[in-house]
Amino acid sequence: MWRTIAASIITIVVGAILTVIKIQGGLNMQGRKSGNAQGIDVSHWNGAIDWPKVAASGISFTYIKATQNSVDRRFIENVRGAKASSLLIGAYHYLDESVTDGRSCKGGSQEVLR
């Protein structure tokens, strides 16, 4: 019986929190305004990127996929293009369900260091 009551209370509280979040416009840390920093996330899936055009559009930073079990095939090209266009650069390592232990994780990251 207590579990049923506790579950009901949790459901009501979570529902109330989600309602407040929805009313307040979601979980955005800040609204989209032209004065805020704007950035993009890219990988080989985006194809060849016209980095000068990206920078001219108001983008000031980019996160570039570095690895997903191996080095992203456009990682170096994207870093060079973003740097040449004076964008701030961050890299990320994508882990998927095939990475099941430290050895397989280390394998992908070691390729970036070569």
Q: Are residue 60 and residue 25 in the same domain, yes or no? A: no
Helix (H, G, I), strand (E, B) or coil at 43: coil
**Same-domain status, 19 and 46:** no
Range of the domain at 50: 32-113
Residues 26 and 36 in one domain: no
Answer yes or no: is pLDDT of 81 > 70.
yes
Q: How far apart are CA 12 and CA 37, in angstroms?
A: 37
User: Are 64 and 92 a contacting pair, CB within 8 Å?
Assistant: yes
* Tokens representing residue 8 in the block: 């009901």
- Coil, strand or helix: which one is 71? strand
Q: Looking at residue 70, what is its pLDDT?
A: 81
What pLDDT does residue 67 have? 86
Per residue in 34-53, pLDDT (tens digit) is 778 889 999 999 999 999 99
Measure CA of the first residue to CA of the last residue in the chain; give whole Å: 60
Question: Average pLDDT of the chain?
Answer: 77
pLDDT of residue 19: 58
Q: Quote the number of domains for the chain.
A: 2
Q: How confident is the model at residue 69 (pLDDT cuts 50, 70, 90)?
A: confident
Q: State the pLDDT at residue 94.
A: 81
User: How does DSSP classify residue 89?
Assistant: E
